[in-house]
Chain A
């Protein structure tokens, strides 16, 4: 029992620490040094952040020269945990035989989980780098094919990322 030393705050501090003033001066010195260090702020609207390929932004449909890759299998709609995707299939004369007549993603419901991209057998729906999503009404939040289709050239980085890591 005799060996137990109490280490209350008052006993651990030395005399100079208990006067406060030298310690306060040290603290002030630290903050003064910080004032002249480089700033971390990004000037957002002028200086935008460009995400890496691994970033899961707005889901988009891959568009090739002759239209979308999507074959309207409906797996994405099926797997979507937020029930954000609605697909209506129709037939086409092309080799793939089916295409989505209507493809809508409700961006108010989307949770950017990326399951649609993961489940897609055709690599037809991928997550883009687009993170600036603004709309003025609930109706505007439902993105149809005209907003979802993005040329494949713009999505190369994401497609390469998927091939390497998935």
Chain B
């Protein structure tokens, strides 16, 4: 890797991380706004027009807060937990292909950081699994029974639902025959969006993604009425802010992956060849812009669904959560894999 390439990658990483964090901050605002609308309220509207600068106000507030660490807490791990949480959440975005490749002077440039990682989706799964450490360590090191309970619940929940999530992905991997996210999207733009072939797998993935990101109705690790704040009870200041942003970054990551795996990624028009209809070469700047907008529209629509579900459904009980994970979702995911395998065997 030459120095120029290294600089390009570092600049990309800087832009990506900042954009992602701003997006996560705005998702907090979106969450509050949608919650307010669903409850027939208006929501934050004091800072800037329609409350658009509320996110910045929140972040500034968090930076100015005193950073309290409980006397009996394990300081090193208490500090490490938010770093792991946000680091892992950000790393996932390195794999996600937001735009189609761009051709300049005969060379293909891509705006993704790791454009052709051949184990793309496996890397995503691996990174999200590491994310458990952030939450579990936060719970363990706080030396608070509620935090510990939250951390324990979170690790149990993530381990249970990761299986079903992996199996749900196996379905689409069997059909597309690749693990590379770019090839996934290429396959879908040439053939058909995978949500039409795997609607059931999509629902499975959606449910497990809700559980993986600790969102309602699976938000047991936080469960305000029982566990105070769950694993982040003993966090304050920007450390709390990082845990909070990591949560939203995870939601955005899950939405992006769903958009790439099931909804055709940057493919704007289902069933048809975009470039041929619009009459531009597939690697021109215009197609890149259209593809980018299409991808982000899909991703943020899914983010809206996440928020919408949170404000509609009540929380599961812990035993219900485990029942659903092991006795229902896992067998269904296995059945999905078997049926998809048979389908691929007979129809291709």
**Which A residues have a C-beta under 8 Å from some C-beta of B?**
21, 24, 27-28, 30-32, 34-35, 37-41, 43
Contact = CB atoms under 8 A, between A and B. Distances in A.
Interface in B208-239: none
Contacts of B312: 24, 27-28, 30-31
B39 interface: yes
20 contacts: A24-B309, A24-B312, A24-B313, A27-B312, A27-B313, A28-B308, A28-B312, A30-B312, A31-B38, A34-B37, A34-B40, A35-B34, A35-B38, A37-B40, A38-B40, A39-B37, A39-B40, A40-B40, A41-B41, A41-B42
A113 B309 CA distance: 45
A1 B39 CA distance: 47
Interface residues of B, number: 13
Contacts of B203: 21
Nearest to B217: A24
A86 to B, nearest CB: 41
Which of B34, B41, B308, B312 has the largest number of chain A CB atoms within 10 A? B312
A31 B41 contact: no
A41 B203 CA distance: 36
Contacts of A32: 308
Contacts of A28: 308-309, 312
Contacts of B311: 31
Contacts of A24: 309, 312-313
Task: Please report whether the interface of chain A is mostly helix, strand, loop or mixed according to DSSP.
Answer: helix
Given A21-B203, A24-B313, A31 B308 contact: yes
Contacts of B42: 39, 41, 43
A25 to B, nearest CB: 10
Contacts of B40: 34, 37-40
B38 A34 contact: yes
Contacts of A31: 38, 308, 311-312
Interface in B296-348: 308-309, 311-313
A11 B4 CA distance: 67
Which A-B residue pairs are the 6 nearest by beta carbons? A35-B37, A31-B312, A41-B42, A31-B38, A27-B312, A41-B41
Interface string B27-40: 00000001001111
A40 B39 CA distance: 9
A136 B312 CA distance: 43
A34 B41 CA distance: 10
Contacts of B309: 24, 28
| Most B C-beta atoms less than 10 A away, residue of A21, A24, A38 | A24
A39 B41 contact: yes
Contacts of A30: 312
A40 B42 CA distance: 8
A43 B311 CA distance: 23
Contacts of B39: 34
A37 B40 CA distance: 7
Given A34-B40, A40-B40, 14 more contacts: A24-B309, A24-B312, A28-B312, A31-B311, A31-B312, A32-B308, A34-B38, A34-B39, A35-B37, A38-B40, A39-B42, A40-B41, A41-B41, A43-B42
A31 B38 CA distance: 6
B230 to A, nearest CB: 24
Contacts of A43: 42
A34 B311 CA distance: 11
A32 B313 CA distance: 13
Contacts of B37: 34-35, 39
A98 to B, nearest CB: 51
A35 B312 CA distance: 11
A30 B38 CA distance: 9
Contacts of B313: 24, 27
A21 B203 CA distance: 9
B4 to A, nearest CB: 49
Nearest to B310: A31
A34 B40 CA distance: 7
